[in-house]
Structure formats: structure tokens, C-alpha cells
Amino acid sequence: MISSVHARVQKNRLRKVQLWSALAVSVCIAVWGDGLQAGEEGEIIKSHGYSFYGDLTYPADYPHFDYVNPDAPKGGEISIATLGTFDSMNPYSRKGRGGALSTVMYESLLGEGVGREPAPADVYSESYCLLCESLEYPESKDWVIFHMRPEARFSNGDPVTAHDIAFSHNLLLEQGLKSYADYVRKQIPKVEVIDDHTIKFYFTKGISRRSLIEQVGGVPAWSKKWYEETGARLDESRLEVSPGSGPYMISDVDVNRRIVYKRNPDYWGNDLPFNVGRNNFDSIRVEYFGDENSAFEAFKSGEYTFRNEGNSKQWATAYDFPKVAEGFVVKEEIEDGSPPTPSGIVFNLGREVLQDKRVREAVSLAFNFEWINESLQYGLFKQRASFTQDTPLMATGVPEGTELALLQRLGDVIAPDMLTEEVRMPHTSGAARLFDRRNARKAMKLLDEAGWLVGSDGKRRNANGAPLRLTFLHDSSGSATLSAVIENFMSNLESFGIEAVLEKVDSSQYTARERDRDYDLVYDQYAAFLGTGTGLSQRYGSEAASFSLFNPAGLASPMVDAIIEASLRAETREEEQAAMTALDRALRHEFFMIPTWYNDVYWTAYYDQYDHPEDQPAYALGYLDFWWYDAEKAEKLRAAGALR
């Protein structure tokens, strides 16, 4: 089954990039969106949505997204689980631990899916109006004007106006994350409220126009009136939240136990084409658990009803309970067309000992994917190599063609060996035993070369006698399988003569220490990409590397910066694609993460009271967004005693 699903996944991943290659590559397009108008600044584009190259899939009169069921019934509840704790419903602050889905109440000018999934989910890098009804901008993209929907309302009935959008934009700059604020100030020098429902953003001259319109179009809309009346701050931990304009609002919060969101019966946007077939559940319930085992047992008993399984052992062995056999619980693999999340063991490059690439190389050789996959994960995973895994943007072999020309044009900032050597691939290990002697010998040699020699006690020390000590920060509420993976990895490090310390802490401590980069090693993730954008600089760039929450390694590479900048200035899709391939090559060359594994299907298990579209969109699972509740099926489950 997995092999056939994988073939469909590959087809989905190829489809979008192949489409890019077939499209016209000029930015100056004769017909765009809803048409062009001549003006003092030249051609002015007016549209119902935005794409950098102007190639919108859905026309202005689209009735709904292609993948949704426009007749999906409204009603019922979907309930999910999460691990750990929370003490705040404000996810925009560094203080406190935000509750799950606590951004779900808020919309933006350009829409997105429930849980921040893309909407539409069947196309890449296209945005469509939600709070706005149209936008306009010159071909130079020096500014953008959004024309807002007068009917848009917050859940308390107040209108959503351009004043709220401007307030929200400025609030993020004044009280939001520093890495975000510093970056956006340089890109967007001015915002102007033209009238109650019209707002204009100006962009800095001489910079790339990539992602700027999406940036301002994606700012959450918060109520200026509420913030001014309450005196609340964006950078504080609190349970009280401002009203949102979205389809869901908070119904119940029981700290560290559950959060319930209910669908707003008076939601202003119910009938918009953007929302047809979406936002189908009356309520979304999130149950909190202290560990993976208790969460799974609660699912079996029906305490919650949907699992997006991430534990290979459980997927392989634990879904043999009676409710599955009797058909009350559906176990289903659903294809995932997005590049897998680049997760793995991240090096804190701020630690002096880890700034030596030889040390990082040696440490990586303690990770035995083959043994872990066979012994702990039932052979269900593939080893990830790339930040754009299994897409046409994935770097292979040596650079050539447009990619090589780009790298050569960037000059001395590019590492010479990257031009002539094959792209970095993960090392291989023997699956028969955890400790791979061949890799151990390589690691020992690298550590010797780096000046970490083995003493009479078997421990490695430098010339000053200081031991080679590495701490691995781990959330104790995580899965038992991940814990076992890390413990076996640490065991191999000990065999290399490294003093390896596993620090298991509770969720709140983990969050605080991760924010402060109080670790040598951590299991974390970066963001995959299928195209360029200014967000790449926030995640992989040097400027905010010392404090960015999106860059847990603290990667600061002039080579990576130069490639990102080149990608932002690409004028054709071919140039952009070459730059993305070069970026993948460079990130792998810098080696700030040990890539672990990936899965190209979603493992889902749910009580048989939900349905989803037959043709799953490539870029989202969408169980909170466009699945729906079947009341007749639910009644049968209750009648059989499978659900309360």
C-alpha cells in the first residue's frame, strides 16, 4: 500500500513544479487577475488574489476550491489530543506556553486554513482574498492597496476595519518577536489608512518584492478597540483574548486539561466562496495529556476521536484493539504531497565546541538510521537527506546548468568544494547492530584531528584538559520511541569518549530553555520550501541568527545569505528553481542538523463519524479544515457503545 501511495505523492510533488516550468516566465503579464489599468505609475494590477508571477489557479468568480465538498454538512465535534501543558491563550508572546490552536480565531486580509494550513491546499504560493475583496498594486510592487469587505465582523459584532489592520501591523512591530519586527521594519516603512475599508502598505525601495504582499496580507486582524479598552499587551501571557473575526471562537479553557473552540453561528464569512465546504465542525476540542501512553489509551476509550499518528511503533503494533477490528475506528494512510518537514538533531552553533565541523561530523556518525528504523520504527520510514526532499528542487550530484551558473556568479562567498563535489548525503550504517564500527572509526579519527584526544579513562579532552561534554535537551512528554532513539544515539556518543548528558525536562522548562538556546543538541525542525520568499531569511539567514526562534541552530552563513538574496531577485521561474536547488545544496553543506527520517503519508486513525474529500489536496491533510461530521455514522457508534 505504501508503495502505491508513494507513487501518487511523487506525482503530486512533481505536478506543481512542472506547471511552473510550462508557464510564461515574464513578470509583465498581459492579463492578470481581474485585469490591468493604466495609471501614472504604469500598469496597475487589480485582482481577487495574489501570486508573485500572477498565475492564479482560481478565477475571480470561483464558486469554491476544487477539493472541498461544497455540500458538506455542518455540525458535530472533532476532538484531538496534544501533549504537555499550557498557561496562556496568547501565542504571540515569548512569555508562557500558548494553548493549542490559539490562533484559530483570527483571520487576515489574505486567507489561510484552520490550524494555519494553506488555503487553498491544492496549489502552492497563491493567496486569495478573505477580509479583503480585492487588492491592487503596480507591476513594480512598490505598494499594495487592500479593499476590505464592509461586512466583516469580529465575534462581538464590531466591524473589522482598516484601522484594525494598521493597528495589528504596528502592534507586531512594537510588541511582537524581535526577529520578526526587525525584519519587517526594514521592508515596510509605512502603512496608510485611506478610509475605513481601504489600507495601503508601502515597500522599501531597492529591495526584493518577494513575499511582501503576502506578508502584509497575512497579518492577523486584532481589535484595536479591545486592546485600547483593556490595556492588554501582545507580549504578555494571558488567558483572556481579543475577539477574532474567524469562524471559531473560544468556548471553554481548562488550563492544562482541555480547550474547546466553537463555530461562531453568526460568522460573517460563512457564504464566501473561500469558505464553501470548509469550517464544517460545530466544535473543535483539544485534550491535553502528560505523556504519549495516556493519550493513546484515551483515544482507545473514545475520550477524543481523531489521531494524526506520529509514533511508528504505535502505528505498526498498537492499532489492533477491538474497535479497529469491529470497524468503529478507521486506520487510514493518506498521501502527503508536501516536502517533509526538515526535522532532526540540531547542533547549537553558538557553542564553541560545535563550531568545528569535524566535531559535528563525528557526532553525526553516532546516529544509526538503519538500525533505528528496523529496530525501533518497524522499517516504516525513509532517511531524509534534503530540505526539499522528493521534489524537483532537491539538489543531486554536482551542480550544473543554471544552478552552477548562479553559484559561479556569486563568487568567493560560495565554498569552492560545493562547485565540484557531489551534494552531501547522509552517511549509511549497518542495520544489524546499533554500534557501527566503520562509522565509529571515522568519528574517532575526526575527533582526534579536532584536538579531542582519548585519555586513560576513555574520555576525550582538549589540550587544556577540558572534557568533551554535550547536553541533549529533550521534552519528557514526548513519545517513548523518540526518547529511545535519543538514548541510543547518546549511548553511541559515550562509546566515542564523549560525555553525553540527556536532560529530560517538562514541557514548560523545555519551551523556556529552547527559546534561550540552553542546549548543545536538540531534536527540532526547520521549514521546507518549494519557492523563495523573505521568510527564508528569517529561518535560515544570518541577521537574526543569534536570537531567532525559527533558527534553533543559530545558522549564520554568508553563502546561504547570498543564495537567498539571489533567489529573491530571480526574474523567472527557472532562475528561482535553480536558486532553491542551490539553497538546498548549501544548507546541506553547512551541516547544522543531523537529518533523521520522514514519512510520505499521513497516518490517521479516527472514529468512523468523519468523511473527507476523495481527492486529497497535495498540501494539507485538512482534518480541521475541510473534513466533515456524519451524524448518521456517529449515531451508529453511540448505539453500539463505541462512543459515549
The shares of helix, strand and coil residues in the chain, as percent rounded to the nearest 5, are: 30, 20, 50
Q: How distant is the alpha carbon of residue 126 from its chain centre?
A: 17
For 579, the 3-state DSSP assignment is helix
Say if residue 199's pLDDT is above 50.
yes
Instruction: Give residue 326's pLDDT.
Output: 97
| Rounded Cα distance, 566 and 579, in Å | 7
Question: What is the average pLDDT across 162-189?
Answer: 92
Q: Is residue 2 very low, low, confident or very high in pLDDT (cuts 50, 70, 90)?
A: very low
For 132, the 3-state DSSP assignment is strand
**Tens of pLDDT along 365-391?**
999 999 999 999 999 999 999 999 999
Instruction: Give residue 181's pLDDT.
Output: 87
| Rounded Cα distance, 355 and 339, in Å | 29
Residues above pLDDT 70, as percent of the chain = 93
Instruction: Give residue 5's pLDDT.
Output: 34
Among 114-123, 125-134, 398-407, the minimum mean pLDDT is found in: 114-123
Count of C-beta atoms within a 10 Å radius of residue 505: 17
Q: Which three cell numbers stand for residue 131?
A: 477580509
Instruction: Give residue 87's pLDDT.
Output: 94
Instruction: Give residue 478's pLDDT.
Output: 82
Output 259 or 55, whichever has higher pLDDT. Answer: 259
Instruction: Give residue 36's pLDDT.
Output: 39
Average pLDDT, the chain: 91
Question: What is the average pLDDT across 501-511?
Answer: 93
Q: Against a cut of 0.85, is the pTM above it?
A: no
Output 314 or 9, whichever has higher pLDDT. Answer: 314
Question: What is the average pLDDT across 518-524?
Answer: 97
Helix or strand run (H / E) with residue 498: none
Output 571 or 367, whichever has higher pLDDT. Answer: 367
Say if residue 602's pLDDT is above 90.
yes
| Rounded Cα distance, 36 and 30, in Å | 8
Q: Give the chain's end-to-end CA distance (angstroms, integer).
A: 33
Count of C-beta atoms within a 10 Å radius of residue 127: 23
| Rounded Cα distance, 74 and 70, in Å | 11
Question: What is the average pLDDT across 430-440?
Answer: 97
Q: Is residue 40 very low, low, confident or very high in pLDDT (cuts 50, 70, 90)?
A: very low
Instruction: Give residue 644's pLDDT.
Output: 80
Q: Is residue 41 very low, low, confident or very high in pLDDT (cuts 50, 70, 90)?
A: low
Say if residue 16's pLDDT is above 80.
no
Q: Is residue 78 very low, low, confident or very high in pLDDT (cuts 50, 70, 90)?
A: very high
Question: What is the average pLDDT across 102-118?
Answer: 93
| Rounded Cα distance, 454 and 448, in Å | 8
Say if residue 39's pLDDT is above 90.
no
Instruction: Give residue 101's pLDDT.
Output: 96
Instruction: Give residue 183's pLDDT.
Output: 82
Instruction: Give residue 53's pLDDT.
Output: 85
Domains in the chain with CATH codes: 31-62+85-230 (3.40.190.10), 248-337+600-639 (3.40.190.10), 343-598 (3.10.105.10)
Question: What is the average pLDDT across 524-530?
Answer: 92
| Rounded Cα distance, 386 and 393, in Å | 9
* HEC letters along 156-212: CCCECCHHHHHHHHHHHHHHCCHHHHHHHHHHCCEEEEEECCEEEEECCCCCCCCCH
The DSSP line for 405-468 is: HHHHHTGGGS-HHHHHSPPP------SS-SS-HHHHHHHHHHHHHTT-EE-TTS-EE-TT--B-
Question: What is the average pLDDT across 311-319?
Answer: 94
Among 349-353, 475-479, 499-503, the minimum mean pLDDT is found in: 475-479
Q: Tell me the β-bridge partners of 50.
A: 127
Question: What is the average pLDDT across 278-300?
Answer: 96
Residues above pLDDT 90, as percent of the chain = 82
DSSP-derived pairing of the beta strands 469-475 and 521-525: parallel
Say if residue 38's pLDDT is above 70.
no
Instruction: Give residue 35's pLDDT.
Output: 40
CA dist list (Å): 82 to 294, 307, 412, 623: 11, 10, 47, 15
